[in-house]
Structure 1
Amino acid sequence: MTQEIRYGKLIGASLGPGDPELITRRAWDVLQSGARWVYPVKKAEQASYALAIVERSGLRIPADAVELVFPMTRDADALAKAWARAAQQTVELLATGRDVVFLVEGDASTFATFGHLARVVREQAPSIAVETIPGVSSFTAAAATAGLPLAEEDETLAVIPTAYGIGVIDHMLDEFDTLILLKVKPLLDDVIELLERRGLLATSCFIEKVGSPEERIVRDLASLKGETVNYLSLLLVKNPKRQRGELRRGCRRRQEREAAAHA
């Protein structure tokens, strides 16, 4: 008779975008719970941004912490093999019965590696329990640092990767009061030119590696033209000129009943 494997729990611990003081109490406790640490790297034995956040917190990195390689490539076959290998490593660690905590920069539910890793792990071993610890995202930290509210009262907010292209960004500027553009590095010059045409340079802000020792805030966006910025950068774009439609307030059913009564 085959003995059933008692897996540990897979935990995605959000660490915030760079400042260790933004690590939540729940994540802090899990990091010191005895769970096995795993952390992402782009190449084997390369520095991990997520691990660096914890190092700045003063916590000692366990000797048995394990790196998982997630290469920066568009090669579908290479990516599939890397994900399968990382998931298999994680399942093997969980099969010891010990919990595994995956270190996540920013928030684990927002444009993060953890969600996909958890899905692939569950495909290999459906009985594995998964916990996601929420945290501070890069754009909420950036807005606070820059002193720019993301949305007030009835304002609208959208968050998109810049890779969707200038056409989509141009359209969304008409649909949202605040637009967060993530990973702006490849199209930064094109975006700056678009904002210049739209008259939105003065109400936009560039933030790079927010919360880290290398944090940089640039309000003069035109000065960034031609510069190669860090991958971990974003733009907060406020569009105070946006035309809004009429809002429907209150209870719709009540309004419909009142309209019918006066008909």
Structure 2
Amino acid sequence: MPRYGKLIGASLGPGDPELITRRAWAVLQSGARWLYPVKKAEDDSYALAIVARGGIAVPDDAEQLVFPMTRDAEILGKAWARAALRTVELLAEGRDLVFLVEGDASTFSTFGHLARVVRELAPEVRVETIAGVSSFAAAAATTGSTLAEEDETLAVIPAAYGVGVIDQLLDEFDTVVLLKVKPLLDEVIELLERRGLLDSTCFVEKVGAPDERVVRDVASLKGEKANYLSLMLVHNPKRVRGELRRGCRTRKEALAVAPAAEAA
């Protein structure tokens, strides 16, 4: 029975190496072997570039794992299987592996899925997830925006859910973060124009990277091609909120509810 190394998901933040946490920084220099994601073999890795900008030399034995950008279930399934099998093979050598993650490893990341498949193949593998700065948190800080204050509500979704869903969420949440807006950029802009929300929307592309772009005149983007790593922060100051119940139930209220609940 092999003694597996630990699989570590190291969140690097969305682009600025100064947002790498002390914990992730220490793991990167711990002697653990690096794994990093690419869209195709021998392609550049955005995650690896973040670390390189931070001044840490890339180890000679760092290895790429290919995660293709496709919706073809068969292609994706084979790619995920290869990546997980290779990860287990390396872990079986007894050395820890650190998987480089752009943004936060728990938020729309390949790491969660990789870790699940690895555990299915080798349940003994220990997994550690190092929290990091998400792209939308960094975008809010960069633009001086607030994601939520006091009792405000926040939704974070991929824009690919479509303008119908986005339109509905704008009535239910004070702030809506739209990730990966590239495919629906024009349609989203038209929706925001109809809703009168262009002035309270900000577009951010590749936040924290040297070629970061912030656009407050969102209407000017119509007809343009956005980068895959782009998002919108949409605040709806017109949203009508329902009544909030402040505080917790008193002990008397809780006791009054309990018998009714038990009877049900």
Per the shorter chain, which TM-score range? over 0.9
1:255, 1:211 → 2: CA distance?
Answer: 52
2:251, 2:194 → 1: CA distance?
Answer: 45
1:76, 1:238 → 2: CA distance?
Answer: 35
In the alignment, what sits opposite 2:59?
62
In the alignment, what sits opposite 1:143?
140
* TM-score, normalization by structure 1: 0.96
In the alignment, what sits opposite 1:91?
88
Q: Does 1:184 align with 2:181?
A: yes
In the alignment, what sits opposite 1:162?
159
Q: Deviations over 1:51-101 (max 9, x none)?
A: 000000000000000000000011111100000000011111111100000
1:255, 1:150 → 2: CA distance?
Answer: 36
In the alignment, what sits opposite 1:79?
76
Q: Deviations over 1:172-213 (max 9, x none)?
A: 000000000000000010000000010000000000000000
* SS, match of residue 160 in structure 1: strand
- Counterpart of 1:100 (choices 97, 102, 106) is 97
Aligned residues: 257
1:246, 1:182 → 2: CA distance?
Answer: 30
2:247, 2:127 → 1: CA distance?
Answer: 39
- Counterpart of 1:12 (choices 9, 12, 18) is 9
* SS, match of residue 252 in structure 1: coil
In the alignment, what sits opposite 1:116?
113
In the alignment, what sits opposite 2:207?
210
2:244, 2:143 → 1: CA distance?
Answer: 29
In the alignment, what sits opposite 1:128?
125
Letter of the aligned partner of 1:190 in structure 2? Answer: E
Q: Does 1:247 align with 2:244?
A: yes
1:11, 1:194 → 2: CA distance?
Answer: 41
- Compute the RMSD of aligned alpha carbons: 1.4
| Offset of residue 251 of structure 1 | 2.1
* Structure 2 unaligned regions, length at least 5: 258-264
1:77, 1:151 → 2: CA distance?
Answer: 40
Q: Deviations over 1:11-33 (max 9, x none)?
A: 00000000000000000000000
1:194, 1:52 → 2: CA distance?
Answer: 35
| Offset of residue 148 of structure 1 | 0.3
* Structure 1 unaligned regions, length at least 5: none
| Offset of residue 256 of structure 1 | 3.3
| Offset of residue 254 of structure 1 | 4.8
Name the stretch that deviates more: 245-254 or 110-119: 245-254
In the alignment, what sits opposite 1:234?
231
1:58, 1:44 → 2: CA distance?
Answer: 24
Q: Which runs of 4+ in 1 moved over 4 A?
A: none
* TM-score, normalization by structure 2: 0.95
